Amino acid sequence: MAASKLIPPHGSDTLTICLLEGAERTAELKKAEGLPKVVMTTRETGDLIFMGIGGFTPLTSFMGQDDWKGVCEKMTLANGTFWPIPVTLSHDKKLDAGTEICLVSGETSEIMGTMKVTESYQIDKEFECKHVYTTNDPEHPGVKMVMEQKAWNIAGPVKVLSESYFPKEFKDVYQRPAESRKIFEEKGWKTIAALQLRNPMHRSHEYLAKIATEVSDGLYIHQLVGKLKPGDIPAEVRVKCIDTLVELYFDKNRVVCGGYPLDMRYAGPREGLLHAVFRQNFGCSHMIIGRDHAGVGNYYGPFDAQDIFFELPEGALQCKMLPIDWTFWCYKCGGMASMKTCPHAKEDRLFLSGTALRKSLSEGGDVPAEFSRPEVLAILREYYASIKEEDKVEVKMHGHATGDAKK
């Protein structure tokens, strides 16, 4: 068998899989039913699934105190492996080492896995927020998640028993790393650029994607199907938009679409690094990082998520950044352009962002034709027309969405 052309998983020669199947799963599930139950948030559930399918290779457990502290302060696990964001499980009380527990989804009440506790520890939540999110502002959705964690973190190796509703509800896009790697191998690709999406693709996303396609063997459009903050567009609507755009405007031989089950943390630069880590596990050699990657509001500079890649020690991360400048529609150029290619003034440009698109659509405003493809806008208008007035969430604009923020 020929050696793989693909980049190896992060920190390992092979994917680390914690998902049980067949008779082994059946036996562990029966055992789990008799164990003390720990109820997980959607973020913790998504993290557990990712450990199950190898998305978080080389992790096989929720982090202990040494790993947590090292990741917060230095972006390394206790053994020196690069890792940018804590992957932890919280509980309302201390559990003795050796205790076996059943892990249950708080969203669906399904048994998701088991864990053998190795330690329980308490953390300084403000310390974590300061290092990971660079802010302790409770309005930041990632900070809010950390501050709402229970009093204790519990650590230990996991056995994963379910991928929840993701394989069924998102059957056309949900993928395990082994599956995406198999597709890339079959296509003979070596260089694959990953495009992270939590919004429907507007023209700026499309432009980034096509730049990446020009310089890579293939493009992996990898969309989040986990939970977002209130006011963001639901996963099923985003998937429909992206599928429509790919069908009509991309060479399908050069593009693979996938979906993954994590919640957004909105950690800006640190989350950009995490996105590159797990895209490496999915087989991608490059991670597209554009304006305000994984950001929210004005908490991060528009290109902080690019800058942090240049600060990494040599060899920390094999998946390389593909940095792309601020992009927009230029009326004088007559098409999409960037700060590096367009010589015209700001008044000649239409700055494109998911925030601006959501705000216009949620308020019933006009959306310029240049903002997104007409087929995508039609899907989004139908969705926003279905929202009851009392369920609408105000979308706040910020400088990164208007072109007013400084690089």
pLDDT at 261 over 90: yes
Q: Which region holds residue 276: left if phi is over 0, alpha if psi is between -120 and 50, else beta?
A: alpha
pLDDT at 394 over 80: no
199 confidence band (pLDDT: 50, 70, 90): confident
Segment 148-161 shows an average pLDDT of 98
Which is nearest to 229 in space by CA: 254, 264, 200? Answer: 264
pLDDT at 230 over 90: no
**Strand, coil or helix: 62:** strand
Note the pLDDT of residue 209: 94
Note the pLDDT of residue 7: 97
**Strand, coil or helix: 320:** strand
Segment 357-367 shows an average pLDDT of 78
Give the whole-number percent of the chain exceeding pLDDT 90: 80
Note the pLDDT of residue 406: 47
pLDDT at 352 over 90: no
393 confidence band (pLDDT: 50, 70, 90): low
Q: Check residue 82 and report its DSSP letter.
A: B
Q: Which residue has the higher pLDDT, 259 or 229?
A: 259
Note the pLDDT of residue 361: 80
Q: Which residue has the higher pLDDT, 40 or 395?
A: 40
Note the pLDDT of residue 259: 96
Of 43, 176, 181, 198, the active-site residue reads 198
Segment 143-154 shows an average pLDDT of 98
Segment 347-373 shows an average pLDDT of 82
Q: Which domains does the chain have, with CATH numbers?
A: 22-164 (3.10.400.10), 166-260+266-407 (3.40.50.620)
Q: Which residue has the higher pLDDT, 269 or 386?
A: 269
Q: What is the pTM of this model?
A: 0.92
Q: Which residue has the higher pLDDT, 397 or 180?
A: 180
Distances in Å between the Cα of 213 and the Cα atoms of 42, 46, 294, 370 are 33, 29, 21, 21
pLDDT in tens, 280-298: 999 999 999 999 999 999 9
Record the tokens describing residue 380, joined without a space. Answer: 């989004």
Segment 101-114 shows an average pLDDT of 98
Rounded to whole angstroms, the Cα distance separating 309 from 316 reads 10
Contact between residue 263 and residue 225 where contact means Cβ atoms under 8 Å apart: no
Rounded to whole angstroms, the Cα distance separating 20 from 310 reads 38
Q: Which residue has the higher pLDDT, 180 or 226?
A: 180
pLDDT at 401 over 60: no
pLDDT at 390 over 70: no
Of 153, 199, 291, 373, the active-site residue reads 199
pLDDT at 188 over 80: yes
pLDDT at 227 over 50: yes
Rounded to whole angstroms, the Cα distance separating 138 from 125 reads 11
pLDDT at 359 over 90: no
Segment 230-236 shows an average pLDDT of 83
Which is nearest to 203 in space by CA: 377, 370, 397, 381? Answer: 370
Note the pLDDT of residue 273: 98
Q: pLDDT averaged over the chain?
A: 93
pLDDT in tens, 299-310: 999 999 999 999
pLDDT at 356 over 70: yes
Contact between residue 193 and residue 213 where contact means Cβ atoms under 8 Å apart: yes
Residue 199 designated active-site: yes
Segment 235-250 shows an average pLDDT of 93
Residue 281 designated active-site: no
Note the pLDDT of residue 404: 53
Q: Across the chain, which distance is largest between two alpha carbons, in Å?
A: 68
Which is nearest to 217 in space by CA: 251, 191, 256? Answer: 191
